[in-house]
């Protein structure tokens, strides 16, 4: 199609040539009318093809988006399993960048460039000197294109990094607005964002300056060359080596020969940005989960086993958990305790499949977690993270994990299992109360209890709670204890990461971690008696609900 369009671009040049060489010397009006009718028909056909090509390119961009959008977004969600999260929105911006370029005029220029030799050949047929002038002009524009690429490639990459940096600072300011204001840090955070914004602004100005200068230089050069070819044609006519029509036709032809290169320079900024986005997308999707669908496995009902597991955070070479091994049967509940940074949260993130094991296996009823795709494993797992993350939507939608057409009785059953049903009924719209992305209008404790209800939705076999009582009052802690007991009674397995002894009331097993290793594992009373020392904190011992004591040095060593 681009070949046909570029042939039709010759219509104006040949019409001009025929008018000067045939119509004017013969003074024939019928010839002029005939040529005009043919030219008009070709122009209409040219316009139709241009329109169709533009619509095809726009649909090419839409098809690219349709094919990759879901895959890229799914990879963004799965990224914490394989890579540290920096800016989850960058792959989506890269997707938009590539889609926009595919539907832009810059891609038209790339399709038109291969037909430039056709115009240069026709110029050569007019006269060898005209062809040489067109070839020299093309070479000059190609050099200018290469210079544009060299001068814009690095600034474009830096501009993307500045965009990521200022976006991350803006997101941090939004999430931590209360702390920034309360601690008097907001002006300093504004200053940090302003610095990132300044770097981004200067980077974009540099790209605009380079691209604008190169585009203006190419335009002026083409105009000067066109006038030069016109003068060359006039000289050829004076010397009797060409006809008058060649003067105009060759000038138009040279201009058309250089137009794709000039257009490519004008759109080079978008081309470089799209090329870099394409490479980042390819690298990003290369780290994503494979598209294969493992065979569907039966629901787990019996045992969780952790076999010599080593776990490192994404993109970290250092193992946070080393050679962890234990086994839990249906109906058991285990508390994971130990000092801060001992690997407790890392371990439970691997158990629910958020992070991958560097070595060893985690199995449910004998099947390792990598045999379970997330959508198949999810219904069998309940997870409450340290930072309770509720999504924008209603309370009912959050509890139901946004399952379409979730039965109301299952939602209410999960809320009752978390002992949060009455609290929800006292909200402004009950279960239909809308939650913002920030969690408003719920308090931190309310969000934690609704997160617990979400973890219990559907009676999952494995329930993992990471510090679930960090923001709970005494009523909430009682509800948590009853929820753990409920999981055990229905034959599930519950794992609780705890820093407070009140979370141990409903468990029968305790795992003690220190420095990434399991120091003790076994029945609760036996482990607590062996490795934990009663500590006094404000007159309350660990046995009475205060903080859990640290492992004794002589027994941890």
Could you tell me where in the chain the CATH 3.40.50.300 domains are found? Answer: 303-386+460-556
DSSP output for 314-357: TT-SS-SEEEEEEEEETT-EEEEE-STTSSHHHHHHHHTTSS--
Q: Name the DSSP class of 370.
A: G
pLDDT score, position 502 = 66
pLDDT score, position 288 = 62
Question: What is the β-pairing status of strands 359-364 and 303-311?
Answer: antiparallel
Question: Would you say 325 and 307 are in contact if contact means Cβ atoms under 8 Å apart?
Answer: yes
Question: Would you say 363 and 369 are in contact if contact means Cβ atoms under 8 Å apart?
Answer: yes
- How far apart CA 159 and CA 277 sit, in angstroms, is 12
Give residues with Cβ within 8 angstroms of 539, minimum separation 6: none
Give residues with Cβ within 8 angstroms of 501, minimum separation 6: 542, 543, 544, 545, 546, 547, 548
CA pseudo-torsion sign 129, 133, 139, 143? positive
pLDDT score, position 552 = 38
- How far apart CA 215 and CA 409 sit, in angstroms, is 65
CA pseudo-torsion sign 97, 103, 109, 115? positive
Question: Would you say 261 and 138 are in contact if contact means Cβ atoms under 8 Å apart?
Answer: yes
Could you tell me where in the chain the CATH 1.20.1560.10 domains are found? Answer: 2-153+213-286
pLDDT score, position 43 = 92
- How far apart CA 107 and CA 280 sit, in angstroms, is 20
- How far apart CA 351 and CA 516 sit, in angstroms, is 15
Question: Would you say 401 and 385 are in contact if contact means Cβ atoms under 8 Å apart?
Answer: no
Angle separating helix axes 474-489 and 444-456, nearest 10 degrees: 10
CA-based angle 434:439:443, to the nearest 5?
A: 105
* Secondary structure (H, E, C), 489-546: HCCCEEEEECCEHHHHCCCCEEEEEECCEEEEEEEHHHHHHHHECCCEECCEEHHHCC
For residue 421, count other CB atoms closer than 10 A to its CB: 17
Strands (E) located in 330-446: 333-337, 359-364, 367-368, 381-384, 393-394, 434-435
Q: Name the DSSP class of 81.
A: G
Residue 330 has phi, psi (to 5 degrees) of -55, 135
Secondary-structure class of domain 303-386+460-556 per CATH = alpha beta
- How far apart CA 506 and CA 484 sit, in angstroms, is 6
For residue 376, count other CB atoms closer than 10 A to its CB: 15
Start-end of H helices in 79-127: 90-102, 105-112, 116-126
Question: What is the β-pairing status of strands 536-537 and 517-523?
Answer: unpaired
Could you give the dihedral angle defined by the CA atoms of residues 520, 524, 525 and 530, in that order, rounded to the nearest 10 degrees?
10
Q: With a cut of 70, which residues of the chain have pLDDT below it?
A: 78-88, 174-176, 178-179, 183, 287-295, 315, 438-439, 500-502, 532-557
For the chain, what percentages of helix, strand and coil (3-state, to nearest 5) are there?
A: 65, 15, 25
Give residues with Cβ within 8 angstroms of 34, minimum separation 6: none
Let me know how many helices (H) and strands (E) the chain has, helices first.
21, 14
pLDDT score, position 544 = 38
Nearest Cα residue to 458 out of 404, 507, 399:
399
| Lateral strand order in the sheet of 367-368 | 321-329, 303-311, 359-364, 367-368
Domain 2-153+213-286 falls in which CATH fold? ABC transporter transmembrane region fold (1.20.1560)
């Amino acid at each position: 199609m681009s070949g046909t369009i570029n042939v039709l671009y010759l219509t104006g040049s040949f019409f001009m040539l025929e008018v000067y060489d045939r119509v004017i010397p013969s003074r024939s009006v019928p010839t002029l009318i005939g040529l005009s009718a043919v030219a008009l028909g070709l122009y209409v056909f040219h316009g139709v093809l241009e329109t169709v090509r533009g619509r095809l390119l726009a649909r090419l961009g839409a098809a690219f988006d349709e094919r990759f959008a879901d895959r890229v977004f799914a990879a963004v969600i799965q990224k914490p399993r394989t890579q540290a999260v920096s800016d989850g929105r960058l792959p989506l911006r890269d997707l938009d960048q590539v889609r926009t370029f595919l539907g832009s005029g810059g891609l038209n220029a790339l399709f038109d460039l291969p037909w430039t030799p056709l115009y240069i050949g026709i110029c050569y047929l007019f006269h060898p000197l005209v062809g040489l002038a067109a070839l020299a002009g093309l070479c000059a524009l190609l050099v200018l294109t290469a210079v544009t690429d060299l001068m814009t490639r690095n600034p474009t990459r830096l501009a993307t990094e500045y965009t990521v940096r200022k976006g991350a600072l803006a997101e941090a300011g939004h999430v931590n607005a209360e702390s920034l204001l309360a601690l008097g840090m907001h002006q300093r955070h504004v200053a940090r964002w302003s610095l990132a914004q300044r770097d981004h602004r200067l980077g974009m100005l540099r790209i605009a300056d380079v691209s604008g200068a190169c585009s203006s230089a190419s335009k002026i050069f083409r105009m000067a060359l066109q006038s030069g070819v016109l003068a060359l044609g006039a000289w050829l006519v004076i010397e009797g080596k060409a006809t008058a029509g060649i003067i105009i036709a060759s000038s138009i032809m040279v201009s058309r020969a250089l137009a794709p290169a000039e257009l490519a320079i004008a759109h080079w900024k978008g081309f470089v940005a799209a090329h870099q986005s394409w490479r980042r997308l390819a690298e990003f999707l290369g780290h994503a989960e494979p598209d294969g669908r493992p065979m569907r496995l039966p629901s787990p009902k019996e045992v969780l086993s952790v076999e010599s597991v080593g776990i490192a955070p994404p993109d970290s070479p250092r193992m946070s958990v080393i050679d962890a091994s234990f086994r839990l049967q249906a109906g058991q509940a285990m508390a994971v305790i130990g000092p801060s940074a001992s690997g407790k949260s890392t371990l439970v993130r691997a158990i629910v499949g958020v992070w991958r094991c560097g070595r060893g296996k985690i199995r449910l009823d004998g099947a390792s977690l990598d045999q379970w795709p997330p959508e198949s494993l999810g219904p069998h797992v309940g997870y409450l993270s340290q930072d309770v993350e509720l999504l924008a939507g209603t309370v009912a939608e959050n509890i139901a994990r946004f399952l379409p057409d979730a039965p109301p009785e299952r939602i209410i059953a999960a809320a009752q299992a978390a002992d949060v049903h009455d609290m929800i009924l006292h909200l402004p719209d009950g279960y239909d109360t809308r939650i913002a992305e920030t969690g408003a209008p719920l308090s931190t404790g309310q969000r934690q209890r609704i997160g617990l209800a979400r973890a219990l939705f559907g009676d999952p076999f494995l329930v993992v709670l990471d510090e679930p009582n960090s923001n709970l009052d005494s009523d909430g802690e009682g509800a948590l204890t009853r929820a753990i007991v409920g999981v055990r009674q229905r034959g599930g397995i519950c794992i609780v990461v705890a820093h407070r002894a009140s979370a141990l009331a409903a468990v029968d097993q305790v795992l003690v971690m220190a420095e990434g290793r399991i120091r003790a594992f076994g029945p609760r009373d036996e482990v607590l008696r062996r490795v934990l020392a009663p500590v006094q904190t404000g007159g309350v011992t660990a046995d009475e609900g205060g903080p859990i004591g640290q492992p004794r040095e002589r027994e941890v060593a």
